[in-house]
Amino acid sequence: MNLTSTITTKGQTTVPKEVRKFLGLGPRQKIVYKIEKSGVRIEAAGKSLMSLAGALASEQPMLSKEQERKIAQNALAQRNAKAGD
């Protein structure tokens, strides 16, 4: 299958739908151009952070900065107490 796209005056192009589908590309995902002796290969870059959005969703409400600070201080105090044993 041969696919064609046009380069704009700004050096931009649209990745054909078939290529995006084949590589599993979504909006804002990056692609990698690998220059080889025989030509250029296009690959999907590693997963973007946006593709991971919601992966760590929790039922618990987010902690406030003050709550985070207290937890960190307690953990540090416990670590220092163990180091002093």
Cβ(58)–Cβ(35) below 8 Å:
no
pLDDT at res. 36: 95
* Cα–Cα separations (whole angstroms), residue 29 to 11, 26, 41, 69: 18, 6, 17, 34
- Digit-by-digit pLDDT tens for the chain (85 residues) are 899 999 999 999 999 999 999 998 888 888 999 999 999 999 988 765 665 666 667 788 888 999 999 999 999 999 888 877 6
Q: Tell me, yes or no, if the pTM score tops 0.75.
A: no
- The amino acid sitting at 48 is S
